[in-house]
């Protein structure tokens, strides 16, 4: 019977080195195993179930679904709810642009003039958003009420006509979207501006550049990846939002997110709701693909 090889024997050292190499090779996979399982169970499996559901034929009365590979559900749903897609696209695009215009000066001031209190100012920016999304939207409903704090005061001093109203219109929905998703825009912008090398800006001033020229030719071009990241990170959840439209909007400005909710919870049309959800997923993937092609996938990791 062979005796075990001593650890200090050359053969034992070779075996030990192989084990160490195998351990180092497996270490990344073992460390990523918990997050991989979490992603698989809570993202990949539900996503695969949703995509398969969009190809099934369901009975609304019983809720039973049978796989029929019915691809015609996609064009029919898009044709039926194309106006809601256009409305969602318009609301999300305008609200995202509003957030960019509002967030850029805030992020710029914190990055360049915040000093030692940058973290404090960022915390103050995020504190209102520690409250529930629905509660914040309901509070926004009180703010925009016909006789609320804002409109009621303006009507009282006769700056607005008595019949003026905002609730139930697309403006209220866009205002709620812009308010609720402001941090999704401000934080990537702050990261992009904070990473600008101040020596580049100082060099521009040494070459007699004005403040305006320094902003337009140095700061703005260097923050373009952050601007695109902020736009993408804000536009995608806005496009599928339904809470703001349900609370602040009316029946004439329905968004596609509301349609999907009604398809699942009211009409019990699971195949239709899943197909519309798949279309939203495709829109998100196209946006991410264009971003990666234009600015590189590396910047997605840096800003998103």
Please report, rounded to a whole number, the percentage of residues in the chain having pLDDT higher than 70. Answer: 89
Q: For 6-10, 38-42, 56-60, 97-101, which range has the lowest pLDDT when averaged over its residues? A: 6-10
- With contact defined as beta carbons under 8 Å apart, do 256 and 84 qualify? yes
Homologous superfamily of domain range 66-303: MetI-like (1.10.3720.10)
Confidence (pLDDT) at 95: 95
pLDDT(234) > 90: yes
Which residue, 216, 201, 182, 195, is CA-closest to 101?
182
Q: For residue 196, what are its two tokens?
A: 């600008």
The 10s digit of each residue's pLDDT in 123-171 is 988 888 888 888 989 988 888 888 878 888 888 888 888 888 888 888 9
Higher pLDDT, 238 or 71: 238
Higher pLDDT, 30 or 98: 98
Question: What is residue 5's three-state secondary structure?
Answer: coil
Confidence (pLDDT) at 1: 47
Local confidence band at 63 (pLDDT 50, 70, 90 cut-offs): low
Q: For 85-94, 252-261, 286-295, which range has the lowest pLDDT when averaged over its residues? A: 286-295
Helices (H) and strands (E) in the chain, counts: 17, 2
Please report, rounded to a whole number, the percentage of residues in the chain having pLDDT higher than 90. Answer: 21
Higher pLDDT, 70 or 96: 96
Which residue, 271, 268, 244, 269, is CA-closest to 258?
244
Local confidence band at 22 (pLDDT 50, 70, 90 cut-offs): low
Q: Which of 55-59, 83-87, 143-147, 155-159 has maximum average pLDDT? A: 83-87
CB-facing half-sphere around the CA of 148: CA atoms within 13 A: 15
pLDDT(304) > 60: no
Confidence (pLDDT) at 287: 78
Give the chain's mean pLDDT.
83
- Parse the chain into domains and list their residue ranges: 1-44, 66-303
Confidence (pLDDT) at 298: 55
φ/ψ of 2, rounded to 5, equals: -70, 140
- With contact defined as beta carbons under 8 Å apart, do 172 and 248 qualify? yes
Question: What is residue 275's three-state secondary structure?
Answer: helix
Average pLDDT over residues 269-286: 86
Q: Which of 40-44, 99-103, 219-223 has maximum average pLDDT? A: 99-103
The 10s digit of each residue's pLDDT in 186-223 is 999 999 999 888 888 888 888 888 888 888 888 888 89
Task: Write the DSSP string, 55-115.
Answer: TEEE-TTT--EEE---TTHHHHHHHHTHHHHHHHHHHHHHHHHHHHHHHHHHHHHHHHH-G
Confidence (pLDDT) at 92: 93
Higher pLDDT, 29 or 97: 97
Separation CA 179–CA 136 (nearest Å): 9
Confidence (pLDDT) at 93: 92
Q: How many residues does the chain have?
A: 304
């Amino acid at each position: 019977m062979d005796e075990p090889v001593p650890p200090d024997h050359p053969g034992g050292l070779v075996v030990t080195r192989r084990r160490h190499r195998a351990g180092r090779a497996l270490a990344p996979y073992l460390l990523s195993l918990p997050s991989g399982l979490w992603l698989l169970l809570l993202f990949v499996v539900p996503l695969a179930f949703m995509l398969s559901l969009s190809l099934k034929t369901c009975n609304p009365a019983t809720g039973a679904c049978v796989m029929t590979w019915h691809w015609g559900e996609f064009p029919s749903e898009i044709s039926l709810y194309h106006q809601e897609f256009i409305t969602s696209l318009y609301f999300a695009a305008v609200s995202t642009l509003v957030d960019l215009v509002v967030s850029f000066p805030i992020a710029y001031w914190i990055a360049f003039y915040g000093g030692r209190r940058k973290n404090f100012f960022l915390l103050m920016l995020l504190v209102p958003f520690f409250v529930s999304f629905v509660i914040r939207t309901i509070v926004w409903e009180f703010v925009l009420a016909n006789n609320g704090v804002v409109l009621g005061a303006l009507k009282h001093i006769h700056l607005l006509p008595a019949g003026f109203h905002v609730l139930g219109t697309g403006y209220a929905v866009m205002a709620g979207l812009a308010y609720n998703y402001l941090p999704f825009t401000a934080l990537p912008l702050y990261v992009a501006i904070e990473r600008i090398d101040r020596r580049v800006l100082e060099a521009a001033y040494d070459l007699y550049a004005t403040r305006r020229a320094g902003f337009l030719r140095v700061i703005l071009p260097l923050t373009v990846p952050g601007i695109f990241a902020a736009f993408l990170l804000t536009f995608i959840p806005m496009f599928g939002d339904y809470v703001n439209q349900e609370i602040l909007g009316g029946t004439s400005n329905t968004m596609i997110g509301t349609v999907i909710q009604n398809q699942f919870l009211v009409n019990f049309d699971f195949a239709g709701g899943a197909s519309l959800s798949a279309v939203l997923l495709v829109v998100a993937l196209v946006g991410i693909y264009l971003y990666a092609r234009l600015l590189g996938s590396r910047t997605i990791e840096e800003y998103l």
